[in-house]
C-alpha cells in the first residue's frame, strides 16, 4: 500500500531467472515472434552454456506453439506451477498451450491480466540465464503492466523499414523509456528481399528506415533480417532457421542480433 501511495510499482523478479529480455513491436505482422524465437535460439547457439527460455506473452495471438512445434497441456509440479514444454533444448510457455488452438481468444481486460500474471508467476522455469518474452504487439495496458510487474534487462524492438511501422516502433520505444526499461536496440526486419532464383536484391519496404529511427531515438540498430522465403517456410513448419539451417545467411543474421543484445 505504501509503495502504491508513493507511485512505485513493485517489480518482483521471476524466480530462477537472471535476465528478462522483451521483444516488442509497435504493430502486428512485422516479424516480432519470428525474431523472438530465433533470437532466443541464437543466444544458445552463440553460447551453448547459456540456458534460455521463451515466454509467449502475446495472449491474444499466441504463435510460439506453432513456431516451436509444440503443443499439449503443461504438467504441474508439486507447487502447482506449470512445467514449460521444451523443444530444441529451449523451455517455452504460451497461452496457446492452455487454450484450444482454434478457439478465438476474446477476453476482457481483467482476464488478460490474470492470464499474464499466471504466465509470469506460475511457471517452473528452473534456472535460466535469459528469459526472452514475446510481447503482444503495440503499446497498451498489457504491455505496460508486464513492464511494471517484472524487472526487465532490456527491450528489443522489431520493425520493418516502412514508415508506418516505424512510427509505431517509435511509440513502443517511447513507452519503454517512460517506464525506465532500457531499449537495447531495433531490429530491422524484411529490409531486403533476396530472390531465391536470380539472387537479385530488392528493398521492398525502403532501405534504411530503421537505421534512421535508431539514430533519432539514440538506440542501437541490432541487425538487419532479410525477407527470405526460407524464414517463412521454416517458421511455418515449426523449424526456426537458427536450428534448421544454422549456417545460412538468415540464421547468421539472427545470431548477429543475439550477439549485439
Ligand atoms: P508478428 O509477431 O510481428 O505478428 P510474425 O513473426 O508472426 O510477426 O511474422 C509474420 C509473418 O511473416 C509470418 O508468416 C513469418 O513467417 C513471416 N516473416 C517474418 N519475418 C520474416 C522474414 N524476415 N522473411 C520472411 N518471412 C518472414
ipTM of the complex: 0.99
Q: Is 227 in the pocket of ligand 1 (CB under 6 A)?
A: yes
- Over 60: is that where the pLDDT of 151 sits? yes
Atom 12 of ligand 1 has which residue's CA nearest to it? Answer: 31
Confidence of residue 89 (pLDDT cuts 50, 70, 90): very high
Confidence of residue 4 (pLDDT cuts 50, 70, 90): very low
Architecture of domain 2-260: 3-Layer(aba) Sandwich (3.40)
C-alpha 79 – ligand 1 centre gap (Å): 37
Please give the pLDDT value at position 9. 58
> Of the residues 24, 31, 162, which should be mutated to test ligand 1's pocket, given the most ligand atoms within 8 Å of the CB?
31
- Over 80: is that where the pLDDT of 35 sits? yes
Atom 6 of ligand 1 has which residue's CA nearest to it? Answer: 31
Q: Taking a C-beta distance cutoff of 8 angstroms, is the pair 176, 25 a contact?
A: no
Q: Is 63 in the pocket of ligand 1 (CB under 6 A)?
A: yes
Domain map of the chain by residue range?
Answer: 2-260
Question: d(Cα 163, Cα 22) in Å, to the nearest integer?
Answer: 23
Q: Taking a C-beta distance cutoff of 8 angstroms, is the pair 154, 180 a contact?
A: no
Q: Is 228 in the pocket of ligand 1 (CB under 6 A)?
A: yes
Q: Taking a C-beta distance cutoff of 8 angstroms, is the pair 258, 39 a contact?
A: yes
C-alpha 29 – ligand 1 centre gap (Å): 6
Q: How many CB atoms lie within 10 A of CB 89?
A: 11
Q: How many CA atoms lie within 13 A of 28 on its CB side?
A: 7
pLDDT in tens, 44-72: 999 999 999 999 998 888 999 999 999 99
C-alpha 71 – ligand 1 centre gap (Å): 20
Q: Taking a C-beta distance cutoff of 8 angstroms, is the pair 258, 46 a contact?
A: yes
Q: Is 9 in the pocket of ligand 1 (CB under 6 A)?
A: no
pLDDT in tens, 183-241: 999 999 998 887 878 878 888 777 778 888 888 888 899 999 999 999 999 999 999 99
C-alpha 190 – ligand 1 centre gap (Å): 9
- Over 70: is that where the pLDDT of 147 sits? yes
**Grid coordinates of 52:** 534460455
- Over 60: is that where the pLDDT of 5 sits? no
Please give the pLDDT value at position 105. 66
Q: Is 241 in the pocket of ligand 1 (CB under 6 A)?
A: no
Q: Which ligand 1 atom is at minimum distance from the Cα of 58?
A: 2
pTM, full prediction:
0.93
Amino acid at each position: 500500500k505504501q509503495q502504491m501511495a508513493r507511485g512505485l510499482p513493485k517489480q518482483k523478479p521471476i524466480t530462477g531467472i537472471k535476465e528478462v529480455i522483451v521483444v516488442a513491436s509497435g504493430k502486428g505482422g512485422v516479424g516480432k515472434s519470428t525474431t523472438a524465437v530465433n533470437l532466443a535460439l541464437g543466444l544458445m547457439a552463440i553460447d551453448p552454456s547459456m540456458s534460455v527460455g521463451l515466454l509467449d506473452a502475446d495472449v491474444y495471438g499466441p504463435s510460439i506453439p506453432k513456431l516451436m512445434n509444440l503443443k499439449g497441456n503443461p504438467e504441474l509440479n508439486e507447487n502447482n506451477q506449470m512445467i514449460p514444454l521444451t523443444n530444441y533444448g529451449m523451455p517455452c510457455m504460451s497461452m496457446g498451450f492452455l487454450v484450444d488452438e482454434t478457439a478465438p481468444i476474446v477476453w476482457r481486460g481483467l482476464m488478460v491480466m490474470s492470464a499474464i500474471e499466471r504466465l509470469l508467476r506460475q511457471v517452473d522455469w528452473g534456472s535460466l540465464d535469459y528469459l526472452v518474452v514475446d510481447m503482444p504487439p503495440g503499446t497498451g495496458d498489457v504491455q505496460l503492466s508486464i513492464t511494471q510487474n517484472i524487472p526487465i534487462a532490456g527491450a528489443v524492438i522489431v520493425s520493418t523499414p516502412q514508415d508506418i511501422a516505424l512510427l509505431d516502433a517509435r511509440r513502443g520505444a517511447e513507452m519503454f523509456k517512460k517506464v525506465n526499461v532500457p531499449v537495447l536496440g531495433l531490429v530491422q526486419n524484411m529490409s531486403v528481399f533476396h530472390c531465391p532464383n536470380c539472387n537479385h536484391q530488392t528493398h521492398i519496404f525502403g532501405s534504411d528506415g530503421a537505421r534512421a529511427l535508431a539514430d533519432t531515438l539514440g538506440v542501437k540498430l541490432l541487425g538487419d533480417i532479410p525477407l527470405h522465403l526460407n524464414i517463412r517456410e521454416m517458421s511455418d513448419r515449426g523449424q526456426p532457421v537458427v536450428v534448421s539451417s544454422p549456417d545460412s545467411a538468415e540464421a547468421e543474421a539472427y545470431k548477429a542480433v543475439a550477439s549485439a543484445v
